[in-house]
Amino acid sequence: MSRTILVYAERRDGSLRRVAFEALGAARRLAGDGGSVHAVLAGDGSAAEDAAALQARGADVVHIADDPSLKDYAPEAYLAVLRAAMDAVGPDALLLGHTAAGRELAPRVAAAYGAGHIADVTAIEPSPDGADVGFIRPLYAGKAFERRSFLPGHPWVVTVRPNNLPPAEPLDAGGSGGSVQALPYAPPPLWTAVRGVLRRASGQLDLAEADVVVSGGRGVRSAAGFEPLHALAAAFGGAVGASRAACDAGYCDYALQIGQTGKVVTPQLYIACGISGAIQHLAGMSQSRTIVAINKDPDAPIFSIADYGIVGDLFEIVPLLTSEVLRTNQ
């Protein structure tokens, strides 16, 4: 079974997001032998710099829209880019990251092309002959999963949750030998304009893409109490998250909140420190590959979903973990 797959290679702050490579990896599997993988890049002068990285990982054709109107993300402009790419490629499927932009663009493209849409996919299971493809997605905050397939006759639009699918590996021969093409893109009228971006500079990795997340809850007790968690996250090269109670108490910024009304993360390792394990928190982290809980209450509900539980005082345990990680890093 061979298909033509288009990937939206999302960039942020002038670089490709990791989920773009995860979507590319999925695209290569879905394309099958004899299929083709196209990627679309958008930016205001620097997008072409990323074409080689996509080709090295299997994009046969990279379509580039470089225009001043694409400096900041605007849904109308980026939708116009995707429409131009859809028209140029006529793909069987469009894959995007399940990011803020991907969530906004995917249903618009699906509506414009009469396509089916499956969102927030965490696993892709093609049948042995590749003809049928199951897309697995969590429901009810991860308490259930559904396996959904597209019916024949329509293009597919799929968003993939960051940090779940294996990224495309570099090709042995150093690249697909494919081509780069300028996309015929005419800036559409915009309905809104970005006047400025106010950034709370945490300087840390994007939580959604971090391999290791060290999270603190009310048990951390203060903003200063988060310092040992930052040190542990830094030792792992990971990011710090928080429960809503910790954010509400002013210990950290709401940008770090994980859960039903915060971010959803699926790192390789999630370390919950002083977090009780309320259902609303679990909604944002229960799909993490390995969960470690540190809590002084042996009956804390977080232990019921933890792979490893440490009953004790986080202020004693976290620094010990940090020094051990630093020692093994040497």
SS3 assignment, position 135: strand
- Least separation, in Å, of the C-beta of 27 and ligand FAD? 32
Distances (CA, A) of 162 to 120, 123, 181, 298: 9, 11, 27, 32
Stretch that binds ligand FAD, among 6-14, 22-30, 179-187, 214-222 (CB under 6 A): 214-222
**Site for ligand FAD contains 280 (CB under 6 A):** yes
Nearer to ligand FAD, 35 or 219 (CB): 219
Phi/psi at 321 (nearest 5 deg)?
-60, -40
End-to-end alpha carbon distance in the chain:
47
Encoded tokens for 119: 């969102």
- Least separation, in Å, of the C-beta of 259 and ligand FAD? 2
**Separation CA 58–CA 24 (nearest Å):** 8
Nearer to ligand FAD, 97 or 262 (CB): 262
- Least separation, in Å, of the C-beta of 263 and ligand FAD? 8
**Site for ligand FAD contains 275 (CB under 6 A):** yes
Q: For residue 22, which of 186, 188, 162, 222 has the smallest C-alpha distance?
A: 162
CB 182 within 8 A of CB 64: yes
Stretch that binds ligand FAD, among 120-128, 130-138, 231-239, 295-303 (CB under 6 A): 295-303
Question: Would you list which residues are annotated within the binding site for FAD?
Answer: 218, 243-244, 257-261, 274-281, 295
- Least separation, in Å, of the C-beta of 217 and ligand FAD? 2
**Site for ligand FAD contains 218 (CB under 6 A):** yes
**Separation CA 40–CA 86 (nearest Å):** 9
The footprint of ligand FAD on this chain (CB under 6 A) covers a number of residues equal to 27
**Site for ligand FAD contains 159 (CB under 6 A):** no
Torsion of CA 55, 50, 266, 314, to 10 degrees: 130
Candidates 214, 246, 264, 269; binder of ligand FAD (CB under 6 A) is: 246
Question: Would you list which residues are annotated within the binding site?
Answer: 218, 243-244, 257-261, 274-281, 295
- Least separation, in Å, of the C-beta of 73 and ligand FAD? 24
**Site for ligand FAD contains 243 (CB under 6 A):** yes
Residue at 54: amino acid letter:
L
**Site for ligand FAD contains 319 (CB under 6 A):** no
**Separation CA 232–CA 213 (nearest Å):** 9
**Site for ligand FAD contains 227 (CB under 6 A):** no
CB 299 within 8 A of CB 314: no
Question: Which single residue is written with the structure tokens 């990937």?
Answer: 7
**Site for ligand FAD contains 276 (CB under 6 A):** yes
Encoded tokens for 97: 């990251």
**Site for ligand FAD contains 300 (CB under 6 A):** yes
Distances (CA, A) of 206 to 4, 93, 202: 31, 27, 10
Nearer to ligand FAD, 163 or 295 (CB): 295
- Least separation, in Å, of the C-beta of 284 and ligand FAD? 6
**Separation CA 136–CA 164 (nearest Å):** 11
List residues near ligand FAD by CB under 6 A: 217-219, 243-246, 257, 259-262, 274-276, 278, 280-281, 284, 294-297, 300, 313-315
